[in-house]
Structure 1
Amino acid sequence: MQMFERWIARAKALWASPSVVPLTPPPAPVNLKDLSHHDPLTGLANRLLFEDRLDGAARRVEASGRRLGVLFIDVDGFKAVNDSYGHRAGDELLREVGRRVALQARQTDTVARLGGDQFLMLLDGNPDASAAAVVAARLRACLADVIRVAGRDLRLSCSVGIVLYPDHGPRAKLLAHADAAMSVAKQAGGGMHVFFEPHMAVNSEAQIDLQRDLRHALDLGGDGLSLDYQPKVDTKSGRLTGVEALLRWRHPHQGLIEPSLFIPVAERFGLIGMLGQWVIDEACRQQRAWQDEGLDLRVAINLSVHQVRQVDLVDRIEQALKAQRIQADRLMFEVSEIAAMADPQACVRLFEQFMRLGVQVSIDDFGMGNANLTQLRKLPACQLKIDRSIVQSLEHDEDAKAIVDAAVRLSHALGLNVVAEGVETTHQQDILLRFGCDELQGYLFARPMSPVQMALWARSSEAVPRPEPPVRLGRPN
Structure 2
Amino acid sequence: MPSQHNLWGVAASIAIAVLASYVALDLALRVRGTYGRLRLAWWAAGSVVMGTGIWAMHFIGMLAFQLPIRLGFTGGLTLLSWAAAVAASGVALGIASRLAVGPRLLLVGALAMGLGICGMHYIGMAALDMAPGIVWDPVKVVLSALIAVAASAVALLMVMLLAHRESRRRTRSQIFASLVMGAAICGMHYTGMAAAQFPAGTVCLSADQLSGPNMLAIVLVTTGIMLLGTLFASILDARLQSTARRLAHSLQQANTRLETANAELQKQAFADALTGLPNRLLFEDRLDQALARLDRANHGHTHERLAVFFVDLDGFKPINDSFGHAAGDFILRKAARRLERAARLSDTVARVGGDEFLVLLEHVHDIADCTLVADRILKALTRPFVVFDKQLQIACSIGIVLYPDQGERDKLVAHADAAMYVAKRAGGGGYALFESHMGADVSNQLALQSDLRQAIDAGQFELYYQPKIDGRRDQISGVEALIRWNHPERGVLSPALFIGLAERFGLIGRLGSWVIDEACRQIAAWSREGLRMRVAVNLSVHQLRENGLAERVEAALRRHKVDASQLLCEITESVAMEDLKATQVAFSGLARIGVYLAIDDFGTGYSSLSYLRQLPAQQLKIDRSFVNDLEVKVDARAVVEAVIRLAHALGLRVVAEGVETAGQRDILLELDCDELQGYFYARPMQAHVLLEWSRGVKPEHAVDFAPSTIEG
TM interval, short-chain normalised: 0.5 to 0.7
Q: Which deviates the most, 348-357 or 104-113?
A: 104-113
Counterpart CA distance in 1 for 2:438 and 2:504 is: 13
Structure 2 contact 338–381 (Cα < 8 Å) conserved: no
Give the Å deviation of 1:47.
3.8
2:372 aligned residue: 126
- After TM superposition, the structure 1 = structure 2 runs for residues 195-274 of structure 1, keeping only pairs within 5 Å, are 203-220=441-458, 223-274=459-510
2:400 touches 2:420 (CA, 8 Å); kept in 1?
no
The aligned residue for residue 690 of structure 2 is 454
The equivalent of 1:424 in structure 2 is: 660
Aligned counterparts, 1:104-143, within 5 A: 104-105=340-341, 108-112=344-348, 120-122=359-361, 126-127=372-373, 131-132=377-378, 134=380
Higher relative contact order (CA 8 A, sep 6+): 1
Letter in 1 for 2:617: A
Q: Structure 2 regions of 5+ residues with no counterpart?
A: 1-281, 313-335, 362-368, 384-394, 423-427, 706-712
| Aligned twin of 1:89 | none
**1:44 and 1:210 mapped to 2: Cα distance?**
23
Moved more, 40-49 or 304-313: 40-49
Separation of aligned partners in 1, 2:546 and 2:537: 16
Q: Secondary structure at the match of 1:301?
A: strand
C-alpha contact (below 8 Å) 1:162/1:181 kept by paired residues: no
2:340–2:349 CA contact under 8 A, matched in 1: no
State the match for 1:12 in structure 2: none
Contact 2:308–2:413 under 8 Å retained in 1: no
In the other structure, the counterpart of 2:211 is none
- Asked whether the equivalents of residues 311 and 399 of structure 2 are also in contact (C-alpha less than 8 Å), the reply is no
SS, match of residue 338 in structure 1 = helix
Going from structure 1 to structure 2, the CA distance change for 1:431 and 1:465 (only over 3 Å counts) comes to: farther
Shift of 1:463: 3.4
Q: For 1:391 and 1:430, locate their aligned partners in 2 and report how far apart those are by CA, in whole Å.
A: 12
- Partners of 1:309 and 1:346 within 8 A in 2: yes
In the TM superposition, residue 126 of structure 1 has moved relative to its aligned partner by: 2.5
Instruction: Tell me, yes or no, if the aligned pair for 2:470 and 2:476 is still in contact at 8 Å.
Output: yes
**Structure 1 residues 72 and 439, CA gap change in structure 2 (3 angstroms):** same
Whether 1:435 aligns to 2:681 is: no
* Residue equivalent to 1:341: 577
Q: Separation in 2 of the partners of 1:71 and 1:56?
A: 24
2: CA distance between counterparts of 1:40 and 1:390? Answer: 42
Q: What is the rounded CA distance, in whole Å, between the counterparts of 2:284 and 2:455 in structure 1?
A: 33
- Alignment of 1:463 with 2:696, yes or no, is no
Contact 1:165 1:171 in 2 (8 A): no
User: In 2, Cα distance between the equivalents of 1:169 and 1:124?
Assistant: 11
Q: Distance in 2 between matches of 1:428 and 1:203?
A: 39
Cα RMSD, aligned residues only = 4.5
Are 2:532 and 1:288 equivalent residues in the alignment? no
Q: Which amino acid aligns with 1:464?
A: V
Please give the TM-score of this superposition, normalised by the length of structure 1.
Answer: 0.65
Alignment partners' CA distance in 2, 1:353 and 1:369: 24
Aligned residue in 1 for 2:614: 378
Do 2:568 and 2:598's aligned partners in 1 also have CA atoms closer than 8 Å?
yes
1:301 and 2:537 correspond: yes
Give 1:234 shift.
0.8
Greater share of residues in helix: 2
Taking the aligned partners of 1:40 and 1:415, their CA distance within structure 2 comes to 48
Match of 1:9 in 2: none
Going from structure 1 to structure 2, the CA distance change for 1:343 and 1:327 (only over 3 Å counts) comes to same
Contact in 2 for aligned 1:44/1:111 (Cα 8 Å): no
How many residue pairs match? The answer is 364
- Answer yes or no: is the 8 Å Cα contact 1:419–1:440 preserved in 2: yes
Q: CA 1:451/1:258 → structure 2, altered by over 3 Å: closer, same or farther?
A: same
**Is the 2:287–2:360 Cα contact (8 Å) retained in structure 1?**
no
Match in the other structure for 1:172: 406
- The yes-or-no answer on 1:70 pairing with 2:309 is yes
Change (3 A) 1:431 1:268: same
The structural deviation recorded for 1:104 is 3.4
* 1:336 and 1:364 in contact (8 A); partners too: yes
- Rg larger for: 2
Q: Aligned partner of 2:534: which letter?
A: R
The AA in structure 1 aligned to 2:703 is V
Gaps of 5+ in 1: 1-37, 60-67, 74-99, 138-159, 185-192, 467-477
Summarize the Cα distance change of 1:445–1:176 in structure 2 as closer, same or farther, 3 Å threshold. closer
CA contact (8 A) 2:294 2:304 kept: no
Asked whether the equivalents of residues 378 and 396 of structure 2 are also in contact (C-alpha less than 8 Å), the reply is: no
Secondary structure, aligned partner of 2:406: helix
Question: 1: distance between equivalents of 2:669 and 2:284?
Answer: 64
1:163 aligned to which of 398, 411, 415: 398
Offset of residue 373 of structure 1: 2.1
Cα distance in 2 for partners of 1:249, 1:181 equals 28
C-alpha distance in 1 between matches for 2:499 and 2:414 = 20
Kindly, what percent of the aligned residue pairs are identical?
43
> 1:129, CA displacement in angstroms?
5.4
**Partner letter of residue 456 of structure 2?**
L
- The answer on whether the counterparts of 1:69 and 1:165 sit within 8 Å (CA) in structure 2 is yes
Shift of the 110–169 alpha-carbon distance from structure 1 to 2, 3 Å rule, reads closer
Kindly provide the CA deviation profile for residues 187-213 of structure 1, in whole angstroms up to 9, marking residues without a partner as x.
xxxxxx997679997722111101111
